[in-house]
Amino acid sequence: MKLNIVPARNGIQWVKLGIKTFGKQPLALTGLFFMYTAAFSILLLVPVVGFVLALGIVPAATLGLMAATQEAEKGRFPMPTVLISAFRAGKQRLRAMLVLGLLYAGACFIVMSLLPLLVDVPQQQTPATTESMLTPQFQMVLLVGALLYLPVSLMFWHAPALVHWHGVSPVKSLFFSTVACLRNARAFFMYALAWIGVVFVAALVITLIATMTSNPQVAAAALMPLGLLITAMFSTSLYFTFRDSFVADADTDAQPHPPGEAP
């Protein structure tokens, strides 16, 4: 397994491939993403350990969505069982994925513990309103939280795929993932800009429709399903960021294969 340095334009290509592949199996990929979010929400309801369990399944679920993308790219219908691919790859890799999940939960707890020490987090007794989310205090919380979470994102971006498809140990996968993201920073910067552009265009279309129909409720009604759709597309694009960032050795087992190659 070797690191592959890609040009900046690949970031835009990742977004295009994610949207194109999502279009091949939109119902299946949306359904799988919804199943993951539903499982996450249900685990949050479990007393005491629910939050840890919910965070702990994130790496495995990320791998499952990437495996679903691989299936869709090859023209196959991704079955629901693909979502638990991380738990069907043998005891050794199962243990590694569980360790990765615990590390992710621990990293998120560190971020959440540091956030109140660096910024005044507002205490919300009721669900946040649009007005409260637009206040400078709330925006500062989001900014500081994003900056604290950035190193976690870099470490775990490729880690689940490295553990599952390349048999890399959990700790080493965090290191290799961080290095790959930093070395391909220009591509990931374009990747982020492209997704921001997609969100902006989608929001603009909804706003125009609401204005033309003189019905603001249209925008409110479309906001949640549109957000789910775009997030599912984003999850689909994750596979391509990994596939292009690493080149498998000839003797590597269980590796993701580019289109047209036989496994």
Domain chopping of the chain, boundaries? 2-247
The per-residue pLDDT of the chain, averaged, comes to: 87
What average pLDDT score do residues 182-191 get? Answer: 97
Distance CA 46, CA 196 (A): 34
pLDDT at 254: 47
Which one-letter amino acid corresponds to residue 71?
E
pLDDT at 203: 84
Band the pLDDT of 82: cuts 50, 70, 90: very high
Report pLDDT digits (tens) over 188-239: 999 999 999 999 998 888 888 777 777 777 767 777 788 889 999 999 999 9
- Is the per-residue pLDDT at 176 higher than 90? yes
pLDDT at 3: 92
Contact 15, 201 (CB under 8 A): no
pLDDT at 250: 54
Report pLDDT digits (tens) over 90-134: 888 899 999 999 999 999 999 999 998 888 877 664 555 556 666
What average pLDDT score do residues 4-23 get? Answer: 95
- Is the per-residue pLDDT at 262 higher than 80? no
Contact 256, 18 (CB under 8 A): no
Share of the chain above pLDDT 70, in %: 88
Model pTM score? 0.85
- Is the per-residue pLDDT at 8 higher than 90? yes
